[in-house]
Amino acid sequence: MKDKLAKIIICFILVATLVVTLVACEPDVEPDPAKERKEVVDVFTNTFVKSLDTLWTNVTMSADEMANLPNAGDYILAVEMTKFYADVIDKSPLQTEKINNITKYIASDEGQKIFKAEEFDGNLVFEFMSGVGLTATDVESLVYGGLYKFIESGDTIYSNAIALINQVKSKAGASAQTRQNLDEVLQEMQVGAQSFENAVVDRQNTLKALKDAESGVKTIVSFAYNNAMLFGNGTNKNLITALQTGMLQDASQGEMATYLSSVLDYIEDAVADLEGQVDEVVDALDKVSNIYDKLVVGSGVISDVFTVIEQNKVLPKILPALEDIVSNARGVALKKNGNEYPFISGVTTCLGEGYAIEGDDDSANEIVAYARMFLALAGVEYTATGDTLSSQIAVAKSLVQDLVEVLAGDGTRDSKMNAISVVALLYVDSPSGTMIGDVEVLRVVELYTADLIYDVFKKAYLEYSVNQSLESANAVQNSARILMRFVTGEEVSSVATTFNQQWYENICAQFETKRASEIEACYPSAKADLDKRVDTFFEDGIYALIDIANMTPVALDDEGYVAFDEEVDKLYQEALTAILGREN
């Protein structure tokens, strides 16, 4: 009996020891952030692709499965592009949970509504960014990361897609519709690959330039993003909505001043961040711009990334001048007399309750408000008189002249075109034979128009390369005719019947040569005219604007508007004449 008991006890002890040992040996399950991130990114990739088409069940469909898709080519392209984005996101500092949240948002009804909109335009991009809760830091990282990665290895998108398309094409089961789609995308990829090869000729130097200017490039991107969020259209009217709804509803003048000041801080912060690296940033953005100039990319994120850079490449140069203007404007816009902010009071009184700039665009009060805002931006108090006013106008003139010099006087092609574009726009409806200095108006306007058409031509040719439709062929034909008329000076009835890369490059070369010579011919007169207009405005036009700004806002009628006032109209026309240099 004792033995039996002893055995039971020993067995119990052994089992207990084993259990304890097993429990003790079980490793602590420490989360592996890298593994977790990879899983989250994989889910993102899968969700993203699936959300584009109901037939696309996952991101890893086999060649046989793809062969059964009517839009197999689109699928392959989507997968390659999504993998590219996913890799950018993975290597970005975006928090893993944020990637998870982006995935959830894409899958949500709200996200799908934006995602599957027929035109995924700029407004929707911002709505999407806002919806997923991207910060300026996220956007700058993603744009920079996307740009860098595309230049570094964008060609693999094309080569991978081409290889996969060929693999699927070889499958017997592919339908005619599938094959047609595969061929279309294959051509698009081949064009893309070719253009990439042509455009990214100095990859290492471009990447190095980007790396050296990383912080500055990011500053430009976040500045552009913040501005877009503040002043952008669509759902992100922060500038207005912040003061109409939420915590700051019925904002006081002081609160508006604080808000306005924090908006102006953007420029000063950006200038501070860029200090000491403007040249590097300009160099990097120029290199990127040169690539974009020759690159054939369709609409989509890559295109958006390049567009952001293209549209804001001038910022590093003009930000310091803008900062001077803003700094000067701050003194007027945020000036305080006792508890009153005259500028804010002056503008809000004109715009009425809610500060909404909507309804009757021609209301006299709004014109008065705009005049007051413009003057404040120039650093001129509309209530100032005598020496104070003269002094303020002199400072404003000097700052604007500096800005004009930065924008149109640094000797670069873009700078010269800026001067020519502004002048062309001012003279666009002038009678034939009107002279701008030594140059006839028509020559300047034609140069400006041709420059615009050149971009249209390049885009049309891209469309044609990808999809040789009659519509795209006509677009290429028409734009090429205009360009050749600019080059030859004669009407061109037809340029070609079929277009190829060699023809395209030939047209581009001819246009660029002609444009260069025309710029040299027109720029001195255009620049001189521009300078003269600045002088004229600050000697004459600004006073008309001051007169408008000093008009007493009229009380709103029953419907909330003020009928256009003749007196205001007269002054408005005078101001316009002074600004434009001619009758409106």
Say whether residue 90 binds another protein (CB under 8 A). Answer: no
Single out the residue of 27, 33, 386, 433 in contact with another protein (rule: CB under 8 A): 33
DSSP string, 158-198: HHHHHHHHHHHHT-TT--HHHHHHHHHHHHHHHHHHHHHHH
User: Judged by CB, which is closer to another protein: 31, or 489?
Assistant: 31
Closest separation in Å from C-beta 107 to another protein: 16
Task: Please work out, in degrees rounded to the nearest 5, the angle formed at the alpha carbon of residue 293 by the alpha carbons of 143 and 320.
Answer: 60
User: Judged by CB, which is closer to another protein: 100, or 468?
Assistant: 100
Say whether residue 254 binds another protein (CB under 8 A). Answer: yes
Listed in sequence order, the residues at least 6 apart from 91 whose beta carbon sits closer than 8 Å to its beta carbon are 145, 149
Closest separation in Å from C-beta 139 to another protein: 11
Closest separation in Å from C-beta 250 to another protein: 5
Listed in sequence order, the residues at least 6 apart from 69 whose beta carbon sits closer than 8 Å to its beta carbon are 55, 56, 61, 75, 178
Tokens 């805002």: give the residue.
373
Task: Classify 493 as helix, strand or coil.
Answer: coil
Single out the residue of 86, 186, 207, 229 in contact with another protein (rule: CB under 8 A): 229
User: Judged by CB, which is closer to another protein: 31, or 386?
Assistant: 31
DSSP state for residue 239 in the 8-state scheme = H
| Contacts to another protein from residues 207-226, by CB under 8 A | 226
Single out the residue of 68, 101, 159, 430 in contact with another protein (rule: CB under 8 A): 101
**Backbone phi, then psi, for 340, in 5-degree steps?**
-100, 140
Rounded Cα distance, 24 and 377, in Å: 71
**H helices within 467-552, ranges in order?**
470-488, 501-536, 542-549
| Contacts to another protein from residues 341-370, by CB under 8 A | none
Closest separation in Å from C-beta 235 to another protein: 12
Segment contacting another protein by CB under 8 A, of 89-97, 150-158, 474-482, 564-572: 89-97
Closest separation in Å from C-beta 142 to another protein: 12
Closest separation in Å from C-beta 269 to another protein: 9
Contact 448, 523 (CB under 8 A): no
Closest separation in Å from C-beta 366 to another protein: 23
Rounded Cα distance, 239 and 492, in Å: 49
Task: Report the C-alpha dihedral over residues 556, 562, 566, 569, rounded to 10 degrees.
Answer: 110
Single-letter code of the amino acid located at 283: D
List Cα–Cα distances, 235 to 103, 123, 130, 143, 230, in angstroms: 21, 7, 9, 22, 10
DSSP string, 315-380: HHHHHHHHHHHHHHHHHHHT--BTTB-HHHHHHHHHH-GGG---S-TT-HHHHHHHHHHHHHHHT-
Closest separation in Å from C-beta 216 to another protein: 18
Segment contacting another protein by CB under 8 A, of 237-245, 415-423, 500-508, 575-583: 237-245
Listed in sequence order, the residues at least 6 apart from 295 whose beta carbon sits closer than 8 Å to its beta carbon are 195, 196, 199, 306
Closest separation in Å from C-beta 249 to another protein: 7
Single out the residue of 83, 98, 313, 416 in contact with another protein (rule: CB under 8 A): 98
| Contacts to another protein from residues 125-154, by CB under 8 A | 133, 135-138
Say whether residue 265 binds another protein (CB under 8 A). Answer: yes
Single out the residue of 63, 81, 248, 521 in contact with another protein (rule: CB under 8 A): 248
User: Judged by CB, which is closer to another protein: 263, or 400?
Assistant: 263
User: Judged by CB, which is closer to another protein: 96, or 401?
Assistant: 96
Site string for another protein, 437-466 (x = CB under 8 A): ------------------------------
Closest separation in Å from C-beta 244 to another protein: 11
Tokens 């993975």: give the residue.
90
Say whether residue 336 binds another protein (CB under 8 A). Answer: yes
What element of type H or E holds 436? strand 435-436
Interaction site with another protein (CB under 8 A): 31, 33, 36, 93, 95-98, 100-101, 133, 135-138, 226, 229-230, 238, 241-242, 245-250, 252, 254-255, 258-259, 261-263, 265, 336, 338-339
